[in-house]
Each structure stands twice: as C-alpha cells, then as structure tokens.
Amino acid sequence: MDDNHLGEFLRTRRAGLRPEDVGMASYGVRKVAGLRREEVAVLAGVNADYYTRLEQGRERNPSPQVLEALSGALNLDADTRAHLYRLAGAAPSDRPSGHAAERVSPALRQLMDGYPNTPAFVMSRTLDILAANALADALYAPFEPSDNLARMTFLDPAGRHFYTDWDRAAQATVANLRHATGFDPDHPRLRELVRTLTEHSADFARLWNAHTVRGKTQDAKRFLHPDVGPLTLTYQAFDVRDAPGQQLVIYHAEPGSPSAQSLNLLGSIHASWRQPEPRPHR
C-alpha cells in the first residue's frame, strides 16, 4: 500500500469525475479521463500548485476548510467525505490504541446467544469475524473457515455460489474494507489482508484500486445456502461502544416469508448436527 494515502485517494476520485458531473463545460479533446488538477483547484477555490502538492504527497496537512471544499469539488458522499478527513488526520480517531488482538466482551457474546432465531456476529474493521452465534455459524457453514468476510468472498470457492449476486457483494465488501483505511491505513492486519487479496484475486485488485468507500449500516442480501436453498435477508450493523472499530451485525428475514422458514430449518439442521451422540449403555 502506498504511503501517500491522501494523494492516491484524491487522484483516483478526480479521475472518476467528468466535467459535466460537476457542472463544468468541456472543450476540445481530453487526453485523459477525469478532471484536470486545475479544474479541481478551481472548484475547490484553492491554489492549483497547492492542490498538486496534495496529490504528490508534498503537502499532507490540509485545513478542515480545504477538506470541506475538496469534498464538494469531488462530489463526495458522507462516508467518502469522512474517509477523506481521516486520511488527512483531520477527524478525531476512534481506533483502539495499539494493534492488540481484538476481543469480544462476554456480555456481547451472551447477548448474541440470546437470539437463537437470527444470525448475529461481531466483526472488526478489517472484516474479521470475531464472534458469532449458532445461527450465524450455520449460515456461514459453507466456508472453511468462516473467518474473514473479504477472504471468504474473494478467495474461498464457496463465495461465488453462496452470494447470489456475487458482483454486488464483492463491491460492497471492498468498499467496507477501503473504509477501514481511513482509520488506520498502516494497521498490520489491514496491510497483510490487502496484500494477500491483491496477490490472489484480480477482481479484488481491480475493485480496490477504484477507491470506493462505504460503511456497513443496513442492506438486503441474497444467499444460496447448500442446506436450505435461497435466502433473502436484511441486516443492521451497530457500533460496539466499548470496543471502537467493532460492529455487531444482525440478519433478519421477513416474518412468514420463505426465507424465514428456511432460516428456521437451517437452525434446526445445525442444532441436530451439534447434538452429542448418546453414550452406549454399560
């Protein structure tokens, strides 16, 4: 990963915009796709040489006012704007101190286990699954192991069968992982994961280089589970207040729907598999 995270982000976002996207007229033949540096500088109301230094990494501490102007110039949404601020070190950091292994509190584990009819799990910013209840384990049973959502999506052969709309799932996964770079771009686990995925998946490398950023909040997903067939589930993601960076993700099926029935069946199947074999009478 490039040390000039801010400059790389600005270049990529600039290259993805056309003059008409930002209300500018386009004259003549353009040699490269995207806006020119001078055009971004005009839109943001900053000196063109200063903006060039930002992209080249020769200036790394833009003021909040400059960041706000660049957010407007580059048409950044809320998630991407917050990501820009974090890359520039201008947003309060809520990452945990140090890089110690993450732990899920016993109280949170107990909470998840108290919902046996809905899959629930806790994940880190790097999409590592840190803890899961029984139904979440059953949902992700096709993966071996079910350890990291990015690795499962791109490197596990089960991924392309499990995610009904794999392209959409892949894009969302990379956007979530790219979101993590704004908090701690040099985190060892993040660097290791991105390096592995880039080396072994051309699809990941292509999506990673697009610099799309999105946090995980709520959405609908479609799965094809080998034990119960199609599942359409919605999810909600909640920040874990006493463990910054961790999120509790809860899946839900529409009550009375075929997916709800299949989810109940999935729980029953895996509960029977977990039952210990009776001991022989002596």
Instruction: Please give the model's pTM, rounded to 2 decimal places.
Output: 0.75
CA 250 to chain centre: 16
- Cα(222)–Cα(202) distance, integer angstroms: 24
Alpha-carbon Rg for the chain in angstroms: 22
Structure tokens at 117: 């009819």
pLDDT > 80? residue 280: no
- The model's pLDDT over 250-267, given as tens digits with 9 standing for 90+, comes to 999 999 999 999 999 999
Instruction: Map tokens 């501490």 to a residue.
Output: 61
Report the distance separating Cα 179 and Cα 185, nearest Å.
10
**pLDDT tens digits, 66-121:** 999 999 999 988 888 989 999 998 865 454 444 445 788 889 999 999 998 999 99
pLDDT at 260: 96
- Judged by DSSP in three states, 227 sits in coil
Please give the pLDDT value at position 198. 97
Amino acid identity at 209: N
The pLDDT, as a whole number, for residue 60 is 87
What pLDDT score does 91 carry? 66
HSE-CB for 139 with a 13 A CA cutoff: 31
Question: Mind listing the domains of the chain with CATH numbers?
Answer: 5-26+33-87 (1.10.260.40), 106-274 (3.30.450.180)
Residue 279 has pLDDT above 60, yes or no: no
Rounded to 5 degrees, φ, ψ at 93 are -85, 130
Burial classification of residue 174, based on how many CB atoms lie within 10 Å of its CB (0-12 exposed, 13-18 middle, 19 or more buried): buried
